[in-house]
Amino acid sequence: MKLKKKKTILLLEDGTIFKGWSYNNTFTCFGEVVFNTGMSGYQEIITDPSYYGQLTILTYPEIGNTGFNIEDNESNGLKSFSLIIKNFCLFASNWRMKICMFDYLNYFKLPVMFGMDTRSLTKYLRDKGSMNGCISNEQFKIEDLYKQLKNKPSMKGLNLIKYLETNKKYRWKNLGETILDNNKTYYYSNNIKSQSYKYKDETKLAKFIILDFGTKFNILRSLSDQNCTVKVFNHTYKIEDIKLEEHDGVILSNGPGDPLVLEKEINLIKELIKLKKLIFGICLGHQLLNIALGGKTFKMKFGHRAINHPCGLDIKVKITSQNHGFSVEDKSINKELIQINNLNLNDHTIAAISHKELPIFSIQYHPEGAPGPHDNHYIFEKFVNIARLSQIKNKYINI
């Protein structure tokens, strides 16, 4: 099949124009233009709900070489609004692939702009900061596009989790089959288990609830691999519903958008804190938990999106996978109650905290990040072990 390239432009909200190509049918799309500097993981990136509403730049030049498979999706569909890459590999080769990237993205009609210097664009955004943009292969009247672009809301102040299509409630199982029980509880499945810690004592199964703000499937896989029962609750659930569910702890998931505008979700987390049960926040969940504890968040200049961010304190460093555009404000943290356990060593933003009196902790990075470093898989092990203890011995959880 002979493909026809179409001229395509990227217009940034400051008026800057970048030119490239696309194979798509006619499209015009808008979103926040962000970049990810990872060398792998394009399938996980564009299916990660945290990328909802964003036009995603990948700085690694060759994209599509390994195709797509069934097991590596991080959600039940594409979440990024567009992909901006340099070289579009049309002929993939990998023993795990089920379909080539072009066929997959073409089927789901994801706009892809290619043939441009993505590293030059990334340097520009690092200097100017992330901003809204428009990609089009059908409209080339800059004035008209610019008017449309200026009417689009900025990421700051935007509630995006309400647009994610999440089930009301489902249980995750690694069974290789999909089940629907009499209570209409949905069972998602995955027949490939990740390499993770295993527990000798399988009689004490921990039961967890995940509040879904846009959760990645690999969080569910990682917990399931620890012999845990994992139930996922939509973010619209109320505290009364959670109280009725038998559980050993609650995980606050990742997700897109500005955490400060999620007032209902913040109030729900405040009610959870009053229960004095184990709580673990990841990424957006980390931000929401800190707001519920009295902190504040701020919009970052260009965010953290990569699989090589160093985090730690003093001389102990671990490499982390990250994807976020907001961060917890250090000055807003009550240091008498909150212990800061990790900083991002690139810019010293807060990367991990724990409560000094309650079994509560959170991290800004992704311990389940796949592909990415495995330095932080132990966090799920520690979380499950704490849940299995009848009494929390330490004053706070240092991760």
Residues that are catalytic = 283, 366, 368
d(CA 10, CA 1): 27
d(CA 164, CA 182): 25
**How many Å is the Cα radius of gyration of the chain?**
21
* Strands 278-282 and 207-212, bridge-based pairing: unpaired
d(CA 261, CA 278): 25
CB atoms within 10 A of CB 390: 4
Contacts of 147 (CB under 8 A, 6+ apart): none
C-beta separation of 343 from 332 below 8 A: no
Nearest-CA neighbor of 198 among 223, 174, 176? Answer: 223
C-beta separation of 362 from 280 below 8 A: yes
Q: Which residues of 304-337 are buried (b: 16+ CB within 10 A; e: fewer)?
A: bbbbebbbbeeeeebbbbbbbbbbbeeebbeeee
Nearest-CA neighbor of 273 among 291, 261, 260? Answer: 291
Question: What's the farthest any 2 CA atoms get from each other in the chain?
Answer: 66
d(CA 390, CA 4): 64
Helix (H) or strand (E) holding 342: strand 338-344
Please count the residues of the chain.
399
Tokens encoding 250:
């609650």
Coil, strand or helix: which one is 82?
A: strand
Which residue type occupies 307?
Answer: I
